[in-house]
Amino acid sequence: MTHSVAAVDLGATSGRVMVGHVGPNELRLEAVSRFANGGTMLADGLHWNVSGLFEHAVAGLTEAASRVPGIASIGVDSWAVDYALLDGDRMLCEPFHYRDDRTAVGVERVHARVTPADLYARNGLQFLPFNTVYQLAAELRGPGLSGADSMLLVPDLLNYWMTGNKRAERTNASTTGLLPVGGNEWDLDLMHRVGLPSGILPTLINAGDEVGPLLSHLVTATGLGPSTKVIAVGSHDTASAVVAAPMQGDDAAYISCGTWGLVGLELDSPVVTERAREANFTNERGVDGTTRFLHNVMGLWLLSETMREWEAAGSAPPLTTVLAQAADVTRSVPVFDANDPRFLAPGPMTPRIIQWCAENHVAPPASQPEFVRSIIESLADAFALAIAQASELAGRPVRTVHIVGGGSLNELLCQRTADRLGLTVVAGPVEATAIGNVLIQARALGAVDGTLEGMRELVRKTFAVKRYTPKEPTR
């Protein structure tokens, strides 16, 4: 029997509502609505407009109900680490954006109480200054935490607004730094050591668990049926994307490439060694208790911020044009460190690339196509390095790399990644996150094979991919 389900997929630069039609030999995705997302600067810093995103989601679900009768369930995924603080039903303020610079004081506070090595042994996470534990520690200097009785990560917040139930799904909870590596419950001892109130943490659930039925006022507002339920999916978008990466065997790696490039392996157990910590690799929870052993690379943020810079100056060519011109660049371009923290904040990117080049005594790009080619080469180099490190650290050879998400449409990036790796790159599907979201819902409803391999086999049967084999030597 075919089931129709709705996926609310929120990315750092855009969101979408999609309807999936899923059965034993069927998997179709129908785009219903798309909307922009981004940071909003308020008096106290950079925030997300999550209330606005919820309005977009409800509008998309309303449109979905008008197009497709009998939608059985809804699943929500989003980016990681960011959260809202609530007092009862009231959200105290819109969630801070992870690119806001307030977290430095939180890093200092946490590391004064727990050494980085001890922290890695506890949670297995790559050091990123915006991990939730650091953000919460930064809250201690203000009134926010004292007035809050609960904390909800972004997808859990939308699930709460749709059901009235406060829950935290484990794949996203594992990005907070507050879930023990390989563990299933919150690390209350760590909360105590850092001075955080453990009472704000909600009950944990797994991908595939039901959060609750859709609230009656939303049934009325959207036109969805009264039996529509909200199901927890891999609520960290990368967890859902990896479900839909059409990998086969133990020698495949993945790159979920959008605003960030999440580069790594799916493992049965974490790798929490000193070498893994020094390489800044993370162990995040995957669907069905798997481990996403990966490194966060800056991703297409570098390109999108560069294009925004040129648009603001009135000199931006179409992206397709500048990518084609970049592919034709023959002059050697600088390969900069895409993981350099200077590239994290919003704002013009080319001055920071020029600064990096000056500090490293290399000639900077001299034209827009060269800047784009430099970004592509730097991302491909960072991807190749992360794959090689993941393979070595996990003791697992890699023979095929799957690129999913928006980056799978960037032919130059896919080809140069294959060239730098010396391996075949399989690109697609582009909507992997929404597909994974839909598949977890469908499995909970009994519509598809219950294993990850079974779901990936359905992806392989129904979505076309493009293969890139190494052509040019690394320049």
Beta strands in 154-312 (DSSP E): 167-169, 203-205, 210-213, 229-231, 252-257, 261-267, 282-285, 291-297
Contacts (Cβ under 8 Å, ≥6 apart) of 330: none
Q: What is the rounded distance in angstroms from the CA atom of residue 462 to the CA atom of residue 256?
A: 19
What does each C-alpha distance from 444 to 229, 232, 287, 289, 344 come to in angstroms?
A: 11, 9, 13, 16, 37
Q: In what side-by-side order are the strands of the sheet with 90-91?
A: 90-91, 83-87, 150-153
Angle at 101 between CA 334 and CA 314, to 5 degrees: 55
Q: Among the options 9, 100, 187, 237, which is catalytic? A: 237
Residue 77 annotated to the active site:
no
- Pair of tokens at residue 327: 């592919």
Q: What is the rounded distance in angstroms from the CA atom of residue 22 to the CA atom of residue 24?
A: 7
Q: Look at the block and give the residue holding tokens 């969805």.
A: 224
**In one letter, which amino acid is 77?**
D
DSSP state letters, 131-166: SHHHHHHHHTTSSTGGG-SEEEEHHHHHHHHHHS--
Eight-state DSSP code of residue 464: -
169, burial (CB in 10 Å: exposed 0-12, middle 13-18, buried 19+): buried
Q: What is the rounded distance in angstroms from the CA atom of residue 244 to the CA atom of residue 438?
A: 10
Closest to 410 (Cα-Cα) out of 347, 352, 323: 323
Q: Are the beta carbons of 260 and 433 closer than 8 angstroms?
A: no
CB atoms within 10 A of CB 10: 26
CB atoms within 10 A of CB 184: 12
Which of the residues are catalytic?
237
